Amino acid sequence: MTPSLEKLVNSFASLPGIGRKSAARLAYRVIEMSEDEVKTFVSSIVEAKKSVHLCSVCQAYSEDDVCSVCSNEHRSLDTIIVVEDNKALEAIEETHEYNGKYHVLHGVISPVDGIGPEQLKIKELLHRLDDNVNEVIIATNPSVEGEATAMYLGRLIKPFEKKVTRLAYGLPVGGTLEYADSVTLMKAIEGRTEV
Amino acid sequence: MTPSLEKLVNSFASLPGIGRKSAARLAYRVIEMSEDEVKTFVSSIVEAKKSVHLCSVCQAYSEDDVCSVCSNEHRSLDTIIVVEDNKALEAIEETHEYNGKYHVLHGVISPVDGIGPEQLKIKELLHRLDDNVNEVIIATNPSVEGEATAMYLGRLIKPFEKKVTRLAYGLPVGGTLEYADSVTLMKAIEGRTEV
Protein backbone atom coordinates (compact mmCIF):
# COMPACT_ATOMS: atom_id res chain seq x y z
CA MET A 1 0.00 0.00 0.00
CA THR A 2 1.35 3.43 -0.92
CA PRO A 3 2.11 6.03 1.84
CA SER A 4 -0.78 8.35 0.99
CA LEU A 5 -3.20 5.42 0.78
CA GLU A 6 -1.90 4.27 4.16
CA LYS A 7 -2.64 7.75 5.58
CA LEU A 8 -6.13 7.72 4.14
CA VAL A 9 -6.79 4.26 5.59
CA ASN A 10 -5.64 5.56 9.00
CA SER A 11 -8.01 8.52 8.68
CA PHE A 12 -10.98 6.29 7.91
CA ALA A 13 -9.98 3.74 10.56
CA SER A 14 -10.03 6.48 13.22
CA LEU A 15 -13.77 6.96 12.63
CA PRO A 16 -16.19 5.09 14.91
CA GLY A 17 -17.14 1.57 13.83
CA ILE A 18 -14.67 1.44 10.91
CA GLY A 19 -12.10 -1.37 11.12
CA ARG A 20 -8.94 -1.58 9.01
CA LYS A 21 -10.54 -3.80 6.33
CA SER A 22 -13.46 -1.40 5.89
CA ALA A 23 -11.10 1.58 5.98
CA ALA A 24 -9.04 0.05 3.14
CA ARG A 25 -12.22 -0.55 1.12
CA LEU A 26 -13.26 3.08 1.62
CA ALA A 27 -9.80 4.36 0.70
CA TYR A 28 -9.79 2.37 -2.55
CA ARG A 29 -13.26 3.74 -3.29
CA VAL A 30 -11.90 7.29 -2.94
CA ILE A 31 -9.12 6.53 -5.44
CA GLU A 32 -11.71 5.16 -7.87
CA MET A 33 -13.89 8.30 -7.55
CA SER A 34 -13.83 10.95 -10.26
CA GLU A 35 -12.20 14.30 -9.43
CA ASP A 36 -15.70 15.78 -9.13
CA GLU A 37 -16.90 13.09 -6.75
CA VAL A 38 -13.86 13.69 -4.52
CA LYS A 39 -14.56 17.45 -4.57
CA THR A 40 -18.18 16.89 -3.56
CA PHE A 41 -17.16 14.50 -0.78
CA VAL A 42 -14.50 16.83 0.61
CA SER A 43 -16.70 19.91 0.41
CA SER A 44 -19.53 18.11 2.22
CA ILE A 45 -17.10 17.47 5.10
CA VAL A 46 -15.72 21.01 5.16
CA GLU A 47 -19.17 22.61 4.79
CA ALA A 48 -20.78 20.54 7.54
CA LYS A 49 -17.92 21.26 9.94
CA LYS A 50 -18.09 24.98 9.10
CA SER A 51 -21.83 25.52 9.25
CA VAL A 52 -22.98 23.24 12.07
CA HIS A 53 -22.88 24.76 15.56
CA LEU A 54 -24.83 24.28 18.77
CA CYS A 55 -28.28 25.85 19.08
CA SER A 56 -27.92 28.61 21.65
CA VAL A 57 -31.06 27.38 23.43
CA CYS A 58 -31.16 23.56 23.41
CA GLN A 59 -27.55 22.87 22.34
CA ALA A 60 -28.62 20.58 19.49
CA TYR A 61 -26.69 20.79 16.22
CA SER A 62 -27.99 23.69 14.15
CA GLU A 63 -26.88 25.90 11.28
CA ASP A 64 -28.73 28.89 12.70
CA ASP A 65 -28.26 30.50 16.08
CA VAL A 66 -31.52 28.88 17.21
CA CYS A 67 -32.46 25.43 15.85
CA SER A 68 -35.64 24.57 13.95
CA VAL A 69 -37.27 22.89 16.99
CA CYS A 70 -36.55 25.79 19.36
CA SER A 71 -37.71 28.39 16.83
CA ASN A 72 -40.89 26.47 15.96
CA GLU A 73 -43.77 28.29 17.67
CA HIS A 74 -46.10 25.35 17.20
CA ARG A 75 -44.05 23.23 19.59
CA SER A 76 -45.05 23.27 23.22
CA LEU A 77 -42.79 24.97 25.78
CA ASP A 78 -44.39 22.79 28.44
CA THR A 79 -41.98 19.85 28.23
CA ILE A 80 -38.24 19.42 27.71
CA ILE A 81 -36.79 16.02 26.83
CA VAL A 82 -33.17 15.80 27.92
CA VAL A 83 -30.98 13.58 25.70
CA GLU A 84 -27.31 12.57 25.63
CA ASP A 85 -26.69 13.44 22.02
CA ASN A 86 -28.22 14.48 18.71
CA LYS A 87 -28.68 10.85 17.64
CA ALA A 88 -31.15 10.34 20.50
CA LEU A 89 -32.97 13.55 19.56
CA GLU A 90 -33.31 12.36 15.95
CA ALA A 91 -34.63 8.98 17.13
CA ILE A 92 -37.38 10.69 19.16
CA GLU A 93 -38.20 13.09 16.32
CA GLU A 94 -38.64 10.09 14.04
CA THR A 95 -41.53 8.82 16.18
CA HIS A 96 -43.44 11.99 15.09
CA GLU A 97 -45.25 11.76 18.45
CA TYR A 98 -43.49 14.42 20.52
CA ASN A 99 -44.38 18.07 20.22
CA GLY A 100 -42.27 19.62 22.98
CA LYS A 101 -38.70 20.86 23.19
CA TYR A 102 -35.33 19.15 23.72
CA HIS A 103 -32.08 19.71 25.52
CA VAL A 104 -28.86 18.00 24.41
CA LEU A 105 -26.30 17.28 27.16
CA HIS A 106 -23.50 16.21 24.77
CA GLY A 107 -22.49 13.28 26.93
CA VAL A 108 -23.18 11.72 30.30
CA ILE A 109 -21.42 11.91 33.65
CA SER A 110 -18.68 9.27 33.53
CA PRO A 111 -15.93 9.49 36.17
CA VAL A 112 -14.04 6.65 34.42
CA ASP A 113 -13.73 8.78 31.27
CA GLY A 114 -13.07 11.91 33.33
CA ILE A 115 -16.39 13.50 32.35
CA GLY A 116 -17.98 15.51 35.16
CA PRO A 117 -21.23 17.55 35.18
CA GLU A 118 -19.36 20.75 34.31
CA GLN A 119 -18.41 19.29 30.89
CA LEU A 120 -22.06 18.73 29.99
CA LYS A 121 -24.64 21.33 28.93
CA ILE A 122 -26.35 21.20 32.35
CA LYS A 123 -26.00 24.88 33.27
CA GLU A 124 -27.73 25.71 29.97
CA LEU A 125 -30.58 23.35 30.89
CA LEU A 126 -31.13 24.97 34.31
CA HIS A 127 -31.26 28.42 32.68
CA ARG A 128 -34.21 27.23 30.60
CA LEU A 129 -36.40 26.14 33.51
CA ASP A 130 -38.72 29.16 33.49
CA ASP A 131 -42.47 29.29 34.22
CA ASN A 132 -43.39 27.85 30.81
CA VAL A 133 -41.78 24.51 31.63
CA ASN A 134 -43.84 22.00 33.58
CA GLU A 135 -42.03 18.74 32.97
CA VAL A 136 -38.49 17.59 32.27
CA ILE A 137 -38.29 14.09 30.78
CA ILE A 138 -34.82 12.65 31.25
CA ALA A 139 -34.10 10.40 28.28
CA THR A 140 -30.45 9.50 28.79
CA ASN A 141 -29.58 5.98 27.63
CA PRO A 142 -30.46 3.00 29.87
CA SER A 143 -26.79 2.52 30.84
CA VAL A 144 -25.05 2.89 34.21
CA GLU A 145 -23.80 6.37 33.22
CA GLY A 146 -27.16 7.37 31.72
CA GLU A 147 -28.88 6.28 34.92
CA ALA A 148 -26.43 8.13 37.18
CA THR A 149 -26.77 11.28 35.06
CA ALA A 150 -30.57 11.02 35.29
CA MET A 151 -30.38 10.75 39.11
CA TYR A 152 -28.00 13.70 39.27
CA LEU A 153 -30.23 15.87 37.06
CA GLY A 154 -33.30 14.84 39.06
CA ARG A 155 -31.78 16.17 42.29
CA LEU A 156 -30.58 19.33 40.54
CA ILE A 157 -33.97 20.14 39.01
CA LYS A 158 -36.00 19.39 42.18
CA PRO A 159 -35.63 22.93 43.66
CA PHE A 160 -37.18 24.36 40.48
CA GLU A 161 -40.41 22.53 41.37
CA LYS A 162 -40.85 20.89 37.98
CA LYS A 163 -42.12 17.39 37.33
CA VAL A 164 -39.06 15.26 36.50
CA THR A 165 -39.63 11.92 34.77
CA ARG A 166 -37.55 9.15 33.21
CA LEU A 167 -38.36 7.00 30.14
CA ALA A 168 -40.00 3.67 30.98
CA TYR A 169 -37.99 0.46 31.06
CA GLY A 170 -39.63 -2.67 29.72
CA LEU A 171 -39.87 -5.20 26.95
CA PRO A 172 -39.18 -3.90 23.46
CA VAL A 173 -42.33 -4.08 21.30
CA GLY A 174 -42.23 -7.20 19.16
CA GLY A 175 -39.76 -8.88 21.51
CA THR A 176 -40.33 -12.14 23.38
CA LEU A 177 -39.85 -12.88 27.09
CA GLU A 178 -37.60 -15.76 26.12
CA TYR A 179 -34.95 -13.43 24.69
CA ALA A 180 -35.28 -10.56 27.18
CA ASP A 181 -32.31 -10.22 29.53
CA SER A 182 -33.19 -10.73 33.19
CA VAL A 183 -32.59 -7.09 34.22
CA THR A 184 -34.99 -5.85 31.54
CA LEU A 185 -37.49 -8.52 32.51
CA MET A 186 -37.29 -7.52 36.17
CA LYS A 187 -37.79 -3.85 35.19
CA ALA A 188 -40.78 -4.84 33.06
CA ILE A 189 -42.34 -6.66 36.05
CA GLU A 190 -41.63 -3.74 38.41
CA GLY A 191 -43.13 -1.28 35.95
CA ARG A 192 -46.22 -3.41 35.19
CA THR A 193 -49.42 -1.51 34.43
CA GLU A 194 -53.08 -2.45 34.97
CA VAL A 195 -54.99 -3.71 31.97
CA MET B 1 -30.92 17.08 10.79
CA THR B 2 -29.51 20.28 9.27
CA PRO B 3 -29.04 20.57 5.46
CA SER B 4 -25.23 20.40 5.53
CA LEU B 5 -25.32 17.42 7.91
CA GLU B 6 -27.79 15.77 5.54
CA LYS B 7 -25.38 16.32 2.64
CA LEU B 8 -22.50 14.85 4.62
CA VAL B 9 -24.60 11.82 5.57
CA ASN B 10 -25.41 11.32 1.87
CA SER B 11 -21.70 11.51 1.02
CA PHE B 12 -20.79 8.85 3.57
CA ALA B 13 -23.78 6.70 2.65
CA SER B 14 -22.61 6.60 -0.96
CA LEU B 15 -19.44 4.76 0.11
CA PRO B 16 -19.43 0.94 -0.08
CA GLY B 17 -20.79 -0.88 2.97
CA ILE B 18 -21.95 2.28 4.76
CA GLY B 19 -25.68 2.36 5.56
CA ARG B 20 -27.61 5.46 6.62
CA LYS B 21 -27.25 4.79 10.36
CA SER B 22 -23.47 4.39 10.08
CA ALA B 23 -23.29 7.41 7.78
CA ALA B 24 -25.09 9.53 10.39
CA ARG B 25 -22.70 8.31 13.11
CA LEU B 26 -19.71 9.24 10.92
CA ALA B 27 -21.20 12.66 10.11
CA TYR B 28 -21.70 13.45 13.80
CA ARG B 29 -18.13 12.34 14.46
CA VAL B 30 -16.90 14.85 11.86
CA ILE B 31 -18.82 17.65 13.63
CA GLU B 32 -17.23 16.63 16.93
CA MET B 33 -13.72 16.69 15.44
CA SER B 34 -11.41 19.63 16.09
CA GLU B 35 -10.63 21.96 13.16
CA ASP B 36 -7.21 20.30 12.91
CA GLU B 37 -8.63 16.80 12.81
CA VAL B 38 -10.98 17.82 9.99
CA LYS B 39 -8.05 19.36 8.10
CA THR B 40 -6.00 16.15 8.47
CA PHE B 41 -8.95 14.03 7.35
CA VAL B 42 -9.71 16.17 4.31
CA SER B 43 -6.08 16.46 3.25
CA SER B 44 -5.61 12.69 3.51
CA ILE B 45 -8.47 12.30 1.01
CA VAL B 46 -7.21 15.01 -1.35
CA GLU B 47 -3.58 13.83 -1.13
CA ALA B 48 -4.41 10.18 -1.77
CA LYS B 49 -6.58 11.05 -4.76
CA LYS B 50 -3.87 13.36 -6.12
CA SER B 51 -0.82 11.13 -5.67
CA VAL B 52 -2.15 7.64 -6.33
CA HIS B 53 -2.07 6.53 -9.97
CA LEU B 54 -1.73 3.23 -11.78
CA CYS B 55 1.72 1.64 -12.07
CA SER B 56 2.66 1.87 -15.76
CA VAL B 57 3.71 -1.79 -15.72
CA CYS B 58 1.32 -3.82 -13.55
CA GLN B 59 -1.52 -1.25 -13.20
CA ALA B 60 -1.53 -1.54 -9.38
CA TYR B 61 -2.02 1.65 -7.37
CA SER B 62 1.27 3.48 -7.03
CA GLU B 63 2.59 6.95 -6.25
CA ASP B 64 5.52 6.51 -8.60
CA ASP B 65 5.43 5.75 -12.31
CA VAL B 66 6.46 2.17 -11.50
CA CYS B 67 5.24 0.53 -8.27
CA SER B 68 7.45 -0.92 -5.54
CA VAL B 69 6.83 -4.52 -6.62
CA CYS B 70 7.63 -3.89 -10.30
CA SER B 71 10.76 -1.87 -9.45
CA ASN B 72 12.01 -4.46 -6.92
CA GLU B 73 14.86 -6.33 -8.62
CA HIS B 74 14.75 -9.09 -6.05
CA ARG B 75 11.35 -10.21 -7.24
CA SER B 76 11.22 -12.86 -9.91
CA LEU B 77 10.09 -11.95 -13.44
CA ASP B 78 9.18 -15.60 -13.96
CA THR B 79 5.60 -15.45 -12.72
CA ILE B 80 2.74 -12.95 -12.99
CA ILE B 81 -0.30 -13.29 -10.73
CA VAL B 82 -3.34 -11.67 -12.35
CA VAL B 83 -5.83 -10.18 -9.83
CA GLU B 84 -9.11 -8.30 -10.11
CA ASP B 85 -8.15 -5.42 -7.86
CA ASN B 86 -5.59 -4.02 -5.44
CA LYS B 87 -7.34 -5.62 -2.44
CA ALA B 88 -6.56 -9.07 -3.87
CA LEU B 89 -2.95 -8.04 -4.48
CA GLU B 90 -2.62 -6.87 -0.86
CA ALA B 91 -4.13 -10.14 0.40
CA ILE B 92 -1.52 -12.18 -1.51
CA GLU B 93 1.32 -9.87 -0.39
CA GLU B 94 0.23 -10.45 3.21
CA THR B 95 0.98 -14.17 2.89
CA HIS B 96 4.69 -13.17 2.45
CA GLU B 97 5.06 -16.31 0.34
CA TYR B 98 4.99 -14.94 -3.19
CA ASN B 99 8.08 -13.43 -4.79
CA GLY B 100 6.91 -12.82 -8.35
CA LYS B 101 5.07 -9.97 -10.06
CA TYR B 102 1.40 -8.99 -10.35
CA HIS B 103 -1.02 -7.61 -12.87
CA VAL B 104 -4.20 -5.79 -11.79
CA LEU B 105 -7.17 -6.03 -14.19
CA HIS B 106 -9.33 -3.45 -12.36
CA GLY B 107 -12.47 -5.52 -12.67
CA VAL B 108 -13.79 -8.67 -14.32
CA ILE B 109 -15.74 -9.28 -17.48
CA SER B 110 -19.40 -8.84 -16.59
CA PRO B 111 -21.88 -8.41 -19.46
CA VAL B 112 -24.68 -7.70 -16.94
CA ASP B 113 -22.79 -4.63 -15.69
CA GLY B 114 -21.71 -3.73 -19.23
CA ILE B 115 -18.06 -4.52 -18.55
CA GLY B 116 -16.27 -6.08 -21.51
CA PRO B 117 -12.61 -7.12 -21.92
CA GLU B 118 -11.69 -3.74 -23.45
CA GLN B 119 -12.49 -1.98 -20.15
CA LEU B 120 -10.00 -4.13 -18.24
CA LYS B 121 -6.19 -3.86 -18.25
CA ILE B 122 -5.83 -6.94 -20.49
CA LYS B 123 -3.93 -5.29 -23.37
CA GLU B 124 -1.34 -4.14 -20.79
CA LEU B 125 -1.03 -7.74 -19.52
CA LEU B 126 -0.38 -9.16 -23.00
CA HIS B 127 2.31 -6.53 -23.60
CA ARG B 128 4.19 -7.90 -20.59
CA LEU B 129 4.38 -11.52 -21.77
CA ASP B 130 8.02 -11.44 -22.90
CA ASP B 131 10.65 -14.20 -22.66
CA ASN B 132 11.17 -13.65 -18.92
CA VAL B 133 7.66 -14.79 -18.08
CA ASN B 134 7.07 -18.52 -17.75
CA GLU B 135 3.79 -18.71 -15.87
CA VAL B 136 0.65 -16.61 -15.52
CA ILE B 137 -1.40 -17.47 -12.42
CA ILE B 138 -4.96 -16.23 -12.82
CA ALA B 139 -6.23 -15.28 -9.38
CA THR B 140 -9.58 -13.67 -10.15
CA ASN B 141 -12.21 -14.29 -7.46
CA PRO B 142 -14.03 -17.65 -7.40
CA SER B 143 -17.24 -16.10 -8.76
CA VAL B 144 -19.05 -16.65 -12.05
CA GLU B 145 -17.48 -13.48 -13.49
CA GLY B 146 -14.05 -14.30 -12.07
CA GLU B 147 -14.26 -17.76 -13.60
CA ALA B 148 -15.38 -16.46 -17.01
CA THR B 149 -12.59 -13.88 -17.01
CA ALA B 150 -10.04 -16.59 -16.15
CA MET B 151 -11.26 -18.74 -19.06
CA TYR B 152 -11.12 -15.76 -21.42
CA LEU B 153 -7.58 -14.85 -20.35
CA GLY B 154 -6.49 -18.48 -20.60
CA ARG B 155 -7.52 -18.61 -24.27
CA LEU B 156 -5.92 -15.22 -24.94
CA ILE B 157 -2.58 -16.14 -23.39
CA LYS B 158 -2.36 -19.61 -25.01
CA PRO B 159 -0.68 -18.36 -28.25
CA PHE B 160 2.13 -16.85 -26.13
CA GLU B 161 3.09 -20.39 -25.07
CA LYS B 162 3.15 -19.63 -21.35
CA LYS B 163 1.95 -21.90 -18.57
CA VAL B 164 -1.46 -20.55 -17.44
CA THR B 165 -2.78 -21.70 -14.07
CA ARG B 166 -5.71 -20.92 -11.78
CA LEU B 167 -5.78 -20.84 -7.96
CA ALA B 168 -6.92 -24.11 -6.37
CA TYR B 169 -10.46 -24.55 -5.13
CA GLY B 170 -10.97 -26.50 -1.93
CA LEU B 171 -11.79 -26.45 1.73
CA PRO B 172 -10.61 -23.37 3.64
CA VAL B 173 -7.94 -24.27 6.20
CA GLY B 174 -9.54 -24.66 9.62
CA GLY B 175 -12.96 -25.28 8.09
CA THR B 176 -15.08 -28.39 8.54
CA LEU B 177 -16.76 -30.53 5.89
CA GLU B 178 -20.04 -30.04 7.73
CA TYR B 179 -20.14 -26.33 6.93
CA ALA B 180 -18.62 -26.43 3.44
CA ASP B 181 -21.10 -25.65 0.66
CA SER B 182 -21.63 -28.49 -1.77
CA VAL B 183 -19.96 -26.79 -4.76
CA THR B 184 -16.78 -26.20 -2.73
CA LEU B 185 -16.91 -29.75 -1.42
CA MET B 186 -17.27 -31.14 -4.95
CA LYS B 187 -14.31 -29.00 -6.09
CA ALA B 188 -12.27 -30.26 -3.14
CA ILE B 189 -13.01 -33.87 -4.13
CA GLU B 190 -12.21 -33.19 -7.79
CA GLY B 191 -8.93 -31.51 -6.85
CA ARG B 192 -7.89 -34.19 -4.36
CA THR B 193 -4.14 -34.83 -4.03
CA GLU B 194 -2.21 -37.97 -3.07
CA VAL B 195 -0.94 -38.17 0.50
How does pLDDT run across B109-146, given as a tens digit for each residue?
999 999 999 999 999 999 999 999 999 999 998 888 99
pLDDT, mean of residues A12-17: 94
CA angle in degrees (0–180, nearest 5) for B49-B50-B54: 75
Angle subtended by helix axes A3-13 and B35-51, to nearest 10: 140
| Share of residues in chain B with pLDDT > 90 (%) | 75
Q: Is residue B23 part of a domain?
A: yes
Instruction: Please give the tally of structural domains in chain B.
Output: 2
pLDDT score, position B114: 94
Residues A106 and A121: their CA atoms lie apart, in Å, by 7
Residues B24 and A162: their CA atoms lie apart, in Å, by 34
Helix (H, G, I), strand (E, B) or coil at A15: coil
Is A29 a residue whose pLDDT tops 80?
yes
Is B175 a residue whose pLDDT tops 80?
no
Nearest chain B residue (CA) to A7: B44
Q: Is residue B190 part of a domain?
A: no
Is B185 a residue whose pLDDT tops 90?
no
Q: Are residues B112 and B153 in the same domain?
A: yes
Query: How many residues in total does chain B contain?
Result: 195
Which of B4, B26, B85 is closest, CB to CB, to A63? Answer: B4
pLDDT score, position A169: 84
Is B94 a residue whose pLDDT tops 90?
no
Higher-pLDDT residue of A185 and A12 is A12
CA angle in degrees (0–180, nearest 5) for A56-B31-A26: 160
Residues A146 and A143: their CA atoms lie apart, in Å, by 5
Phi, psi (degrees; rounded to nearest 5) at A68: -65, -30
Residues B160 and B126: their CA atoms lie apart, in Å, by 9
Neighboring chain B residues of A48 at a CB cutoff of 8 Å:
4-5, 7-8, 27, 30-31
Q: Are residues A45 and A123 in the same domain?
A: no
Q: Are residues B121 and B84 in the same domain?
A: yes
Residues B140 and B84: their CA atoms lie apart, in Å, by 5
Q: Are residues B79 and B47 in the same domain?
A: no
* pLDDT bracket for residue A65 (50, 70, 90): very high
pLDDT, mean of residues B81-104: 92
pLDDT score, position A192: 81
From residue A6, alpha-carbon distances to A13, B45, B111 in Å are: 10, 11, 33
Q: Are residues A101 and A153 in the same domain?
A: yes
B119 touches chain A (CB under 8 A): no
Residues B4 and A63: their CA atoms lie apart, in Å, by 8
Contact A123, A59 (CB under 8 A): no
Helix (H, G, I), strand (E, B) or coil at A132: coil
- Which ipTM did the prediction report? 0.79
Which of B5, B18, B51 is closest, CB to CB, to A61? Answer: B5
Is A195 a residue whose pLDDT tops 80?
no
* pLDDT bracket for residue A123 (50, 70, 90): very high
Q: Is residue B141 part of a domain?
A: yes
Q: Are residues B82 and B155 in the same domain?
A: yes
Mutate which of B5, B89, B115 to test chain A, going by most A C-beta atoms within 10 A? B5
Residues A154 and A125: their CA atoms lie apart, in Å, by 12
* pLDDT (tens digit per residue) in A124-135: 999 999 999 999
* pLDDT bracket for residue B108 (50, 70, 90): very high
Q: Is residue B176 part of a domain?
A: no
- The 10 Å Cβ neighbour count of residue A52 is 21
* pLDDT bracket for residue B33 (50, 70, 90): very high
pLDDT score, position A185: 82
pLDDT score, position B174: 78
Neighboring chain B residues of A52 at a CB cutoff of 8 Å:
2, 4-5, 31
Q: Is residue A43 part of a domain?
A: yes
What distance in Å separates residue B47's CA from the closest CA in chain A? 7
C-beta atoms of B29 and A16 within 8 A: yes
Q: Are residues B154 and B96 in the same domain?
A: yes
Query: How many residues in total does chain A contain?
Result: 195
pLDDT score, position B151: 93
- Tell the burial category of A27 from Cβ atoms under 10 Å away from its Cβ (0-12, 13-18, 19+): buried
Per-residue three-class SS string for chain B: CCHHHHHHHHHHHCCCCCCHHHHHHHHHHHHHCCHHHHHHHHHHHHHHHHHCEECCCCCCEECCCCCCCCCCCCCCCCEEEEECCHHHHHHHHCCCCCCCEEEECCCCCEHHHCECHHHCCHHHHHHCCCCCCCEEEECCCCCHHHHHHHHHHHHHHHHHCCEEEECCCCCCCCCCHHHCCHHHHHHHHHCCCCC
pLDDT score, position A112: 93
Contact map slice: A 56-115 vs B, CB within 8 A:
61-63, 85-87, 90
CATH of the domain at A122: 3.40.1360.10
* pLDDT bracket for residue B193 (50, 70, 90): confident
* pLDDT bracket for residue A108 (50, 70, 90): very high
* pLDDT bracket for residue B184 (50, 70, 90): confident
Residues B118 and B75: their CA atoms lie apart, in Å, by 29
Is B40 a residue whose pLDDT tops 80?
yes
Q: Are residues B26 and B102 in the same domain?
A: no
Q: Give CA A189 to chain center in angstroms.
A: 28
CA nearest to B64, candidates B55, B75, B74:
B55
What distance in Å separates residue B2's CA from the closest CA in chain A? 6
Contact map slice: A 2-21 vs B, CB within 8 A:
2-5, 7-8, 10-11, 15-18
* pLDDT bracket for residue A175 (50, 70, 90): confident
Q: Is residue A191 part of a domain?
A: no
Q: Is residue B30 part of a domain?
A: yes
pTM equals 0.78
Q: Is residue A65 part of a domain?
A: no
What does the mean pLDDT of chain A come to?
Answer: 92
Terminal Cα-to-Cα distance of chain B (whole angstroms): 64
Contact B22, B8 (CB under 8 A): no
pLDDT score, position B38: 96
CATH of the domain at B13: 1.10.8.420
Is A143 a residue whose pLDDT tops 90?
no
pLDDT, mean of residues B65-87: 95
Q: Are residues A43 and A81 in the same domain?
A: no
What does the mean pLDDT of chain B come to?
Answer: 92
pLDDT score, position B9: 96
Domain region containing B17: 3-51
CA nearest to A85, candidates A106, A67, A103:
A106
CA nearest to A103, candidates A55, A47, A167, A158:
A55
